[in-house]
Amino acid sequence: MNNDLYPLYYPESISVIGVSPREDNFATIIFKNLIKAKEERTLNAEIYPVNPLYEECAGYKCLKEVPETDLTIISVPSSLAWQYLKEADKRGTKTAIVISGGFTESGSEKLLKEKLKIRVLGPNTIGIVNTYNGLNTLFLPEKKATKDGRFLESLPKLKKGKVAIITQSGGISVSILDELLTNNIGISSLTCLGNSEDITISDTLEFLSYDENVEAVAMYIEGIKDGKKFMKIASDLTKKKKAFALLAGVTQVGKRATMSHTASIMSDYETYSSALKQAGIIQVYTLRELIDVIKTYEMNGLPRSDKVIVLTNSGGAGVLAADNAAKNGVNVPNVSGILNELKATGKVPKIASLANPVDVSASGTDESIIEVYKKLSENGFSNFIIISTHYPPGITDKLPESIKKISDEYKNFNISVELGNTEWSEHLRKTFWLMGIPAFNSPEEASITMAYLVKSSKAQPTWRFSVRKEPVINFKGIIIDPESSEFLKEFGFIIPPWGWIDKSDLNRLPYPIALKVYRKDLIHKTEQNAVRVNILNAQEAAIAIEDLNKKFPDGRIYYQQMIKGQEIRLGFVKDESFGAVVSVGAGGTLTELYRMTSNYVCPVTFDEALDMLKETKLFDILKGYRNKTIYDPEKFARTISELSQWVYDKENLKELEINPLIINENGPYVIDLRMNFD
C-alpha cells in the first residue's frame, strides 16, 4: 500500500496556511469548512490556522509558524507557497495540498527540482473530499448570497458512497459533485490533482486500490505523465475494483519528431484509449455519460449478466434503447418464447410485441408490465431498461414501487426512462429515483449507461509485463540498411534473399527482384524514387542499375527478391508518457491514406495482439476465405507480442517500423525496416 498518501486522505492534524479576516479568502473558507466538520463530529483532527500577519482569524488564534502536522493546506500567492512548503517539509509535515495557482506561469516549478520528503497534491487544485472522515478542503462555501440578500445552497451536503472520483480540473470536479449530491448520490472521495507536480494519477490510484471505502474509481483525464507506472498500477487496481474514465485534451497529433508512417498517423487519443482498455478501464465519451455511470453504479452496483431486457409501452423508444444497447455490445435476447403464454392468458394485450424490446403497447397497464417483469425475473433475467411512458391511461405512479418489490426479491439491475418534461414526467422520474431505480430522460442515455456497466462487469486488465530472452544488438541513430534486419529472425520474421549489387553476378540473382538504393538519408525510398521493382532478368537489372547510379551516385545499390502476399505495416513508436506503443495496419504506400490501424501500449500479450489484428480486419484477411488461409493469424499475433516485449525494454528506441511487411503462406517477410535510436 502507498502509505505516503494515507495522511493526505486520513489526517489527524491539519494546518491551513493563508487564513485571514476576509470572508472570501480561500484559506478562510477551507478553515471554516474543516472547523464545521469537526464541530459536527465528522472530522476528527486538530486544525490550526497559520498567518504571521494576524493574531486571530475566524475566532481562532493564528500561528506565526507552520506546525508539524499530517496535512498542511497552502493557499497563498505562488511566490510565497514554495517558502511555506519548504518550512512544512522541514517541520516534518507529511503531506501538503497547494491550492495556489500560477506555478507554471511564473516559472516556480520547484516541486520536482527540489528533493522534499513531503508529498504534494497540486499546485493549482481545489484539493480533496473524503466523505468517510469529513475531510473537505474545497474553498467553496455551502451557501452564497443573491443580490436581494437571500442565501441559496451552492454546494450540497456531503454524502457517503462507493465511488472515488479523480479529476484534473477543479471545475469538472465541482460539476460532478454538485449533480451527484443534488440527486442524493454519495461518493467515497474526490481528488483534484491540479498540475500533478508531485502526486500523480498513478499515485492516487495506488492508494485508492487499498482504500476499503472505495469500490470503483471514476476519472476525468487530460494527460498522464507517468504512463508506464500508470499501466502497472491501473492494471493492479482493476483486478479488484472497477474503473471508468473520460479523456479530454489528448487529441493533438504530431508532438513527436517522426521518420515513420507509423508515427505520423498515430494519435495520442488512440494511444490513451488503448491504454485504458488494456488496463481494464471502461472509457466513456462525455461528461454526461461519466456522471450517469457514477449515479447508476452508486445506486445499483453492476449487472450480473450481459443479457438486457428492454420493457416498454412505447415501441419507438424501445427500439431506440435496444438498438443502442446492441450497438454497444450488449446482448438483447429474443424472449418471445418465454412470454407468449402471457398473451394467450390475456395478461398482456394481444397487440403486444414480445421479442425484445418487449412492447406491451399503449394499451398496456401497470399490471401487464409487472406480469412481463415478473415472468422474465423468474426465468433468470436480471437486467432491465424500463420505458413506461406515463401518457397512456393504464400507467400510474404505483408502477415504480411494484417493480421495486419484485426487483428486491430477484436482485435485479434496473434503469428506467421517462420521456417528456411535464409535471407527470418529473413526478414519475422522481418516484423511480425514490425507489432506488435510476431514471433517465432518453432511451439512448439509459442504454449507453447500461452498456458501460455491463462491459465493466466483465472487464479485466490484459496488460502485463513479461521477460523474454532477447537478441543483443547495439544500434545507434537512424538505421535503414538491409543488414540490420537479420536480428528479426529471432522473433519469427523472414528476411528475403538480398545482396549488394557490387558484389553480385547479375545472371545469378533470384529474379524477380527489386533494386534499392541505400543511403543514410533515403528513409522513404519509394517517395524518393530510389526503388525499382519487378526486375525480371539481368538485362533489365543492368538498365535499372545504370539509372539509379545516375540519380544517386553516392548511394549503394542492393537487390531484394520480390515477395508476393498481403502488405502489412507493423511499427513501434516511443510515446512521451507510455513508452513504446505498437501499431498494426494496412501497409505499403497506402498506409496514411487508409489509416486502418490499431495501437496498443507495449508490451502486448498474445491475446491483445490477436485483438489488434481483428480490429483492423487483418485477422479476416490472413484467415482468408473458402478454406484458403494466407497465414495463421495466431502465429503472427505471437510474433507481434514477442517483438513488443523486446521493444518495451529498449529505452533508447524512438521508432521501429517494418513497412511493408509482406505475409504469405510461408510467414511474415521484412521488406523494409527503419529504426531510430537515441
pLDDT given for residue 355 in this prediction: 95
Q: Is the pLDDT of residue 74 over 90?
A: yes
Instruction: Supply the pLDDT for residue 42.
Output: 93
3-state secondary structure of 660: strand
Q: What is the mean pLDDT of the chain?
A: 91
Closest CA to 165 of 297, 331, 301, 279: 297
Name the band, by pLDDT with cuts 50, 70 and 90, for residue 155. Answer: confident
DSSP assigned state of 331: B
pLDDT > 90? residue 1: no
CB 604 within 8 A of CB 612: yes
Q: What is the mean pLDDT of residues 37-65?
A: 94
Calculate mean pLDDT across residues 466-494. Answer: 82
The DSSP element (H or E) to which 292 belongs, if any, is: helix 287-300
The confidence score (pLDDT) of residue 264 equals 43
Query: What CA–CA distance (Å, rounded) separates 225 from 233?
Result: 14
The amino acid present at 519, given as its one-letter code, is: R
The C-alpha cell of 275 is what?
Answer: 491504454
Higher pLDDT among residues 115 and 651, named by residue? 651
184 in helix, strand or coil?
A: coil
CA distances from residue 521 to 44, 216, 530, 618, 670 in whole angstroms, order as listed: 67, 51, 11, 32, 20
Mean of pLDDT values over 32-61: 94
Mean pLDDT within 106-120: 67
* pLDDT band for position 191 (cuts 50, 70, 90): very high
Ranking 108-112, 477-481, 663-667 by mean pLDDT, the lowest is 108-112
Percentage of residues in the chain having pLDDT higher than 90: 77
336-377 tens-digit pLDDT: 999 999 998 999 999 999 999 999 999 999 999 999 999 999
The pLDDT assigned to 421 comes to 92
Give the residue ranges of DSSP H helices in 345-381: 366-378
Does 139 score more than 70 pLDDT? yes
Pairwise pLDDT comparison (78 vs 448), residue with the higher score? 448
Structure pTM? 0.91
pLDDT > 60? residue 599: yes
- Please identify which residue in the block is written with the cell numbers 427500439: 319
Kindly tell me if the per-residue pLDDT of 259 is higher than 50.
no
Confidence label for 468 from pLDDT (cuts 50, 70 and 90): low
> Please, which pLDDT band fits residue 101 given cuts at 50, 70 and 90?
confident
Asked whether residue 444 carries a pLDDT value surpassing 70, the answer given is: yes
262: pLDDT strictly greater than 60: no
Cα 617 off chain centre by: 23
In this prediction, residue 108 carries a pLDDT of: 45
**β-pairing verdict for 216-221 and 160-167:** parallel
- Which region among 48-57, 148-157, 638-647 has the lowest average model confidence (pLDDT)? 148-157
| Predicted confidence (pLDDT) at residue 482 exceeds the cutoff of 70 | yes
Question: What domains sit in the chain, N to C, each tagged with a CATH number?
Answer: 3-214 (3.40.50.720), 301-458 (3.40.50.261), 506-561 (3.30.1490.20), 566-677 (3.30.470.20)
For residue 256, the model assigns a pLDDT of 44
Residue 572: its pLDDT value, please? 95
3 state DSSP class of 518: strand
In this prediction, residue 268 carries a pLDDT of 83
Model confidence at 21, pLDDT cuts 50, 70, 90, reads very high
Find out whether 534 and 511 touch, Cβ atoms under 8 Å.
no
Please state the rounded mean pLDDT for residues 603-607: 95
Bridge partners of residue 439, in order along the sequence: 416
Question: Among residues 545, 455, 441, which one has the least CA distance to residue 501?
Answer: 545
Query: Confidence band (pLDDT; 50, 70, 90) for 153?
Result: confident
- Can you read off the three cell numbers belonging to residue 406? 419484485
Q: How many other C-beta atoms lie within 10 A of the C-beta of residue 534?
A: 10
pLDDT at residue number 466: 65
pLDDT digits (tens, 9 = 90+) for 544-568: 999 999 999 999 999 999 999 999 9
Q: What is the pLDDT of residue 252?
A: 54
Hey, which bits of 334-431 come out as E strands? 358-359, 383-387, 413-417
* 139 touches 29 (CB < 8 A): yes
Q: What is the DSSP string of 166-181?
A: EES-HHHHHHHHHHHH
Residue pair 272/594 in contact (Cβ under 8 Å)? The answer is no
pLDDT more than 70, % of the chain: 92
Cell numbers describing residue 322: 435496444
The pLDDT of residue 269:
86
Backbone φ and ψ for 27, nearest 5 degrees, come out as -65, -35
